[in-house]
Amino acid sequence: MSVYDTIKESLKAGRKGVLATVISRSGSAPRDVGARMFIDENGQSDGTVGGGLLELQVQKTAIERKRAERAAVFHFQMNAKTVAEQGMLCGGNVDVLLEPVMARHNELYQRLADMERKGKKGIVVTSLTDSFTKTLIDESLGMTGDSMSESSAMHCLSLVAPGRPVVSDDGAFLVEPVFNRAQLYIFGAGHVSQFIAKVASMVDFAVTVIDDRQEFANHARFPDADEIIVDNFVTAFSSLSFSGNEFVVIVTRGHAHDADVLREALSRDARYIGMIGSKRKVKMIFDLMRQSGFSDGAILKVYAPIGLTIHAETPQEIAVSIVGQLIQIRAQ
């Protein structure tokens, strides 16, 4: 689940709160631009803006502002003296937007969660004046949230910079691109997949689990998955989107299914394809791919055996190894 999903649930339960978003950073600050944390009115939080002293300061400021009705940008400085006193390794300067989460924007947060999950593009415009407004604008100029003229929307779209928020010249509003989580498709719903889904969700992947057995592929076994598809492994691909930034993990229950999935995955534009299995099994399936007409260049891009080399043995350790590799590739 994303922070926006948590906000949806909190508003549904009648709890307001404060959304904290890192909008700029310098030095060795721990989290990048776009990192978010939601703090509800009871002080419970979801997400992270970096942990440690920074997160403590952000939470404290958010709780102090839980009844505020306007957004504001706060500057948090972690100088060398503070870092040394706290025994920290990361310093630097961070600007964090703190904004009230209100019931009237419930539909906006629902739409944001859906756009993140589906990889849709758009911008969010948040006012920094006494009159707090928040508007989501999608690629077709469709708007959710507070109303805005089409000319203002066009102006905001012209300001947005790829991958980072921008404050307008007059300081009246902030324009943020929608930060899409990388999509992870997990083929197979066994024990290893359960832990992959859990860990991958914790580090901001949008997780989809695919298996042809409903008794395995269900929300009781995969509570952290954003989507579960019960379908034949091959036909399931027709319902999946690929734009070059998707991660495919193949951990089915047998080499025949692995080969079917790999054949389909190699035919798509995926950023990462990894397949579990012994060296003998991998060689056998790679030979099948060559027989299917795939080049050595395409086949050798597959991460197999999958995961970082950390001598993982248990399902939990294997999941850590695999997700660690996903994080490594995502950061490149």
Average pLDDT value for the chain:
88
- The pair of three-digit structure tokens given for residue 146, joined into one six-digit string: 């507070």
Same domain, 236 and 309: yes
- pLDDT recorded at residue 84: 46
Query: Is residue 268 packed enough to be buried (19+ CB in 10 Å), middle (13-18) or exposed (0-12)?
Result: middle
CA dihedral 12, 228, 4, 104 (to 10 degrees): -40
pTM above 0.75, yes or no: no
Same domain, 89 and 134: no
* pLDDT-above-90 percentage for the chain: 60
Distance of CA 140 to the CA centre of its chain: 23
Same domain, 144 and 236: no
pLDDT by residue (tens digit) across 197-222? 999 998 889 899 999 999 999 999 99
Q: Which residue has the higher pLDDT, 250 or 67?
A: 250
Same domain, 141 and 204: no
Q: Is the pLDDT of residue 320 over 60?
A: yes
Same domain, 155 and 221: no
Concatenating the DSSP letter of every residue in 104-144 gives GGHHHHHHHHHHHHHT--EEEEEE-SSS--EEEEETT--EE
Question: Using CA atoms, how far apart are residues 30 and 90, in angstroms rounded to an integer?
Answer: 6
- pLDDT recorded at residue 250: 98
Which of 89, 104, 119 lies at the terminal end of a domain, its last residue?
104
Other C-beta atoms lying within 10 Å of the C-beta of residue 84: 10
How sure is the predictor about 89, in pLDDT bands with cuts at 50, 70 and 90? very low
Average pLDDT over every residue of 300-318? 96
Question: Using CA atoms, how far apart are residues 59 and 53, in angstroms rounded to an integer?
Answer: 10
pLDDT by residue (tens digit) across 130-181? 889 999 998 888 999 999 888 888 888 888 766 678 888 888 888 988 866 7
Same domain, 87 and 166: no
Same domain, 76 and 122: no
Same domain, 63 and 121: no
Which of 124, 148, 177 lies at the terminal end of a domain, its last residue?
177
- pLDDT recorded at residue 88: 45
Q: Amino acid identity of 236?
A: A
3-state secondary structure of 176: strand
pLDDT by residue (tens digit) across 94-112? 889 999 999 999 999 999 8
Same domain, 216 and 166: no
Same domain, 221 and 275: yes
Q: Which residues contact 135 (CB under 8 A, 6 or more apart)?
A: 108, 124, 125, 143, 144, 145, 146, 147, 148, 153
- CATH number for the domain spanning 283: value is 3.40.50.720
Which of 177, 202, 231 lies at the terminal end of a domain, its last residue?
177
Same domain, 132 and 172: yes
Q: Which of 75-89, 235-249, 295-309 has the highest mean pLDDT?
A: 295-309
Q: Is the pLDDT of residue 90 over 50?
A: yes
Task: Provide the residue range defining the domain that includes 145.
Answer: 106-177
The total of structural domains in the chain comes to 3
Same domain, 199 and 166: no
- pLDDT recorded at residue 235: 96
